[in-house]
Structure 1
Amino acid sequence: MIDSVNRRTLRVLVVEDEYLIALEMEALLEELGCEVIGPAPSVKKALALLDLERPGFAILDVNLGNERSTPVAQALVEMNVPYVVATGYEAKHLPETVLRDAPRLRKPLTIHQLRRVLADPERG
């Protein structure tokens, strides 16, 4: 659980390739008192950011252009960083376990969804 005191300084990696959606996520997270890392529009950019700093939490879009965010999710697992996937897909349509078994948020995201997932990342 990420408590409200830690959430004020929680650093959240946002991995999203749609510019307007990324901006909206960033604004919502900042409204909740988080510091946003990124947004990263590609696997390459997200992994580069992870090489530079360790987030406390991450939100991953499943599809980033013509690639999936699977390598980013795997890196987060190895770093023991909690994450959720933001998608319209049902879990059964995600072939990669690291994405399929992750908590999911339905797009479009709302501040209520983000508040809930930051309070309890396992719920998604």
Structure 2
Amino acid sequence: MVSKQLKRASRSARILILEDDLLNAFLIEDTLKQAGHEIVGPAKTVPQALGLLERGGTDAAILDLQINDEMSYEVGRKLDELSIPWAITTAHPPSFVGPQFSHVAFLSKPFGVAALLDLIEKLLDPPGEPKR
């Protein structure tokens, strides 16, 4: 399924995944690995994600907005502080995210492989920046 829609990334990156649903985490991890990326995590809790960020070497991140009963805002703030591009995945509407993260890419669940790969390309090579 994934391999039919898969395209190799224009460049390889280390991508942090914060996702508490095992099936979603596997889909994201498998897709990104097949596209040539290295996975940081996946983290299943906010403290795990923060610990992985402290180790350094993360190029981009994909955060599930709601991790169990907790929101992933603290991880998002840390990513912003470190100037690491990131995106939110959630089944909630975009208005649920709030204005403090209006600059962050948003991917609605459920999403497909092509949408995930397009999102990662946009995170790694934002419009207006020279290609690496």
Assess same fold via TM > 0.5: yes
Distance 1:92 1:107 in 2: 14
2:25 match: 22
1:42-121 equivalences under 5 Å are 42-95=45-98, 97-98=100-101, 100-121=102-123
- Partner letter of residue 41 of structure 2? G
User: Matched residues, percent identical?
Assistant: 28
* Structure 1 residue runs without a partner (length 5+): none
Q: Does 1:11 align with 2:39?
A: no
Secondary structure of the residue aligned to 2:84 is coil
CA drift of 1:54 comes to 2.8
Conserved in 1, the CA contact under 8 Å of 2:10 and 2:121?
Answer: no
CA drift of 1:109 comes to 3.0
Secondary structure of the residue aligned to 1:50 is helix
- 1:93–1:29: structure 2 CA closer, same or farther, 3 Å change rule? same
CA drift of 1:51 comes to 0.7
* Structure 2 residue runs without a partner (length 5+): 1-8, 128-132
Distance 2:117 2:95 in 1: 25
TM-score normalized by structure 1?
Answer: 0.86
Higher Cα Rg: structure 1 or 2? 2
CA RMSD of aligned residues (A): 1.9
CA drift of 1:104 comes to 0.5
Moved over 2 A (4+): none
CA drift of 1:89 comes to 1.6
